[in-house]
Amino acid sequence: MSIGDTLAEARRQAALSVTEVSRQTRIRESIIQSVEQDDFSPCGGDFYARGHIRSIAEVVGADPAPLIREYDAEHGALGGMRAAQIFEPATPIKIREPRRPHLGKVLAVALVAVVGFGVYHYVTRSDAHPAATATAPVRPVVKATLTPAPVPVAAKAKSKTKKNEAVIKLTAVDDCWIGLDSATGKTIYQGTLPAGQTKTWNEKDAVSLVIGDPTGVQLTVNGKAEQMNTVQVVTLSINPKSKTLVTVG
């Protein structure tokens, strides 16, 4: 039996309709029907096709492992492809790090200020006390102690953040279904997060975050709040190495 036939037969054995499977997996009915017909093009790529197969299989009571192996044999394993490369229409959001003030520029500005003050002080004294003789004036010796400008506290705090790591913090306002998968399709977390609870993940590799009810959660990535003004299921592809966050409808 093919992958689609296996999932369809398991669904019928479990006495579940496509609508019921869609409600439990948060996958659109049209996509479930396409998968049962072995048409994976609506899934949006191999990465999400594997995730849909796993989610449907778990709901209908089928073992997802042999189905995913069969999918890899027919379509090829996902390998090291980044999740951000699958959805080209999305616009990446660049996360910029703060720039420290250049020490050389600070020292140069301080030196110019000290020399300018010395020249002004010398000219002022010369105008107030004109020379009575032709004796050459003695130029004042200006001694300057240059102290490097202190690094702002905010910049020090930012420097402690590990490079190439995404800190994902999600707080549920209402009960919300959450799914977090690695780029290879491995499930990191999957389940319903009760209202009032918070989950935090520190990820060094690309991950895919699926949120069942975007309006029912508060999400920050590396301390930056992400706004999601939609009631539809949303999938976020987060890549710490390239510092991009892609929203997939």
Nearest-angstrom CA–CA distance, 40 and 50: 9
Q: Is 123 found in the same domain as 60?
A: no
pLDDT band at 121 (very low <50, low <70, confident <90, very high): low
Give residue-wise pLDDT tens across range 81-108: 444 343 334 334 444 555 665 667 767 7
Q: In whole angstroms, what is the distance from residue 166 CA to residue 164 CA?
A: 7
Considering the domain boundaries, does residue 113 fall inside one? yes
In a domain, 83, yes or no: no
Whether 140 is covered by a domain: the verdict is yes
Residue 128, SS3? helix
Per-residue pLDDT, averaged over 138-153, amounts to 55
Largest CA distance in the chain: 116
Domain region containing 112: 103-129+136-150
Kindly state whether residue 14 falls inside one of the protein's structural domains: yes
C-alpha to C-alpha distance for 52 and 32, rounded to whole angstroms: 8
Whether residues 240 and 173 share a domain: the answer is yes
Q: Are residues 170 and 146 in the same domain?
A: no
CA pair distance 64, 61, nearest whole angstrom: 9
Confidence of residue 180 (pLDDT cuts 50, 70, 90): confident
Dihedral, CA of residue 236, residue 185, residue 83 and residue 160, to nearest 10: 70
Measured CA to CA, the distance from residue 20 to residue 179 in angstroms comes to 19
Q: Are residues 109 and 49 in the same domain?
A: no
pLDDT tens sequence across 184-240: 888 899 888 888 899 898 888 888 888 877 777 888 988 888 877 776 787 878 888
Count of domains forming the chain: 3
Q: Cα–Cα distance between 154 and 41 in angstroms, integer?
A: 47
- Is residue 215 one of the residues assigned to a domain? yes
Q: List, for residues 64-76, the tens digit of each pLDDT value.
A: 999 999 999 988 7
Position with higher pLDDT, 163 vs 124: 163
- Indicate the residue among 121, 150, 179 that finishes a domain: 150
Question: Once rounded to an integer, what is the mean pLDDT over residues 123-149?
Answer: 53
Q: Rounded to an integer, what distance in angstroms lies between the CA atom of residue 12 and that of residue 18?
A: 10
- Model confidence pLDDT, tens digit, residues 146-156: 555 665 555 44
Q: What is the dihedral of CA 159, 85, 42, 213, to 10 degrees?
A: 10
